[in-house]
Structure 1
Amino acid sequence: MRPKIENITDLRGEISRLRVQRLEQEVELTKVTARLKARLHFPVLVYTKISDFFIELFGDDPEDLNKKKENKDWVTNILRVGLPLALNRFLFPRSGFLMKSVVAMVSQKAAKNVNKDSITGIIDKVTDWIKSSKEKSRKEPRMADYGIPPDSETY
Structure 2
Amino acid sequence: MRTKIQNIEDLRAEIDRLGQVRLEMETELKIEVVKISAKITAPFLLLSKLYDFLGFGKGKSESKEGGDWLSSILRIGLPVLMNRFIYPKSGFLIKTFIGLLSQNAVKSINKDLMITIIEKLSDWIKSTGNKSKKNPEMADYGIPPDSETF
Q: TM-score, normalised by structure 2?
A: 0.49
Query: Larger C-alpha radius of gyration, 1 or 2?
Result: 2
Q: Which has the higher contact order (CA 8 A, sep 6+)?
A: 1
Q: TM-score, normalised by structure 1?
A: 0.48
